[in-house]
Amino acid sequence: MSSLPGELALQPTEYVPIARGKRAKGLLVLVPILLLSVVVSLGVGAVSISPLEVLSILLSRVGLPPLAEFTEQQDAVLCIIRLPRVLLGVLVGAVLSVAGVALQGLFRNPLADPGLLGVSGGASVAVAAVTVLKLQLLGFYTLPLAAFLGSFAAIFLISSLAQENGRTQVALMLLCGVAINALCVAATGLFTYLSTDDQLRTITFWQLGSLAGATWPLVSTITPLVLLCVVGMVLLANPLNALLLGEANANHLGIQVERTKWKIVALVALGVGAGVAVSGMIGFLGLVVPHLVRLWLGPNHRVLLPLSALLGSALLVLADLLARTVVVPSELPIGIVTALAGSPFFLFLLLRQRRTHAL
């Protein structure tokens, strides 16, 4: 993080071309990686589909001539099962990564992520409560809706507690988030203790995360919410850059600090709530991805936000591919895969911060 002051000290006329150059460099690398991960993930599974057959099926669906022959079974497996699942992975990976970037920028803390702030914890409590109390009012959509409302309730409570004289204290908000998250863990544990064997299984598998429930209606439901969050965050890139200098300096630069903080918090709650609602708890993605892009291309949010969305999408699609193929015919929860990769990286960050005397 030592490069932050130097990067932000650049004049706007110098900063914009640098951002464009790094963004173009990142797009040239990450767009092909994302496309390749999508094609591979669509083709690998119990029914094997070659990349050429994947492209042929997709082309035939938009009325173009296919490049190779394919069977009806391959067409059905790809379009009904794998394509919505992969697209859900793209959406959830993008929104969790962008939320991580925004929270780290808002709190000026490289260890901030949606899980630390209690957003995911609120969703977890809501899902556990709905499961144990048997509140299945909306059938299949009950758990996603409960998770969404739980995320919003948590972020609303944290934001309210962090108000002081009409202003949101960012440091207090972070501490409130840690406390609310701990409370959510305890409440989830209580509901888990009260649950039956079947309810315990439902709660446990939801907490471990999975994209197995992906359907076209589910994808179409969260797509507008995810796009609103990602696009909204990208539009807030310049205010996030200014906030890295401190709230007073950002205010001197003409940034409406309070309004910007509320916009960021609302977009994070919206995006993470939608993502967690359909995929369960998928940890470490919002922590790891921003750091990978920041180490590669620097801290400018005009670069960081869009490229983190691309990298997060690619990593979650590949993690889901591993989760559903490494222990066939069973399926490994995707949260285990991301945690196995994210935990060592989290430890690396802690050790790196200790060496720089930041912890």
Question: What's the token pair of residue 277?
Answer: 């609602």
Contact residues for 132 (Cβ-Cβ < 8 A; gap 6+): 191, 194, 195, 199, 203
Are the CB atoms for 300 and 10 separated by under 8 Å?
no
Are the CB atoms for 219 and 91 separated by under 8 Å?
yes
Are the CB atoms for 305 and 97 separated by under 8 Å?
no
Give the chain's mean pLDDT. Answer: 83
Residue identified by tokens 């994209």 is: 211
Give tens-digit pLDDT for 93-141.
Answer: 999 999 999 988 887 777 777 777 778 788 888 888 888 888 777 766 7
Decide if pLDDT at 12 tops 60. Answer: no
Domains defined along the chain, listed by start: 30-40+77-342 (1.10.3470.10)
Q: pTM for the whole thing?
A: 0.85
For residue 40, CA distances in Å to 117, 155, 206, 326, 349 come to 34, 37, 26, 15, 31
Contact residues for 11 (Cβ-Cβ < 8 A; gap 6+): none
Decide if pLDDT at 7 tops 60. Answer: no
pLDDT at residue number 6: 39
Give tens-digit pLDDT for 207-238.
Answer: 888 888 888 988 988 898 899 999 999 999 98
Decide if pLDDT at 170 tops 90. Answer: no
What is the full DSSP assignment across 152-193?
A: HHHHHHHHHHTEETTEE-HHHHHHHHHHHHHHHHHHHHHHHH
Give tens-digit pLDDT for 26-82.
Answer: 899 999 999 999 999 999 988 888 889 998 998 888 888 888 888 888 899 999 999
End-to-end CA distance of the chain: 13
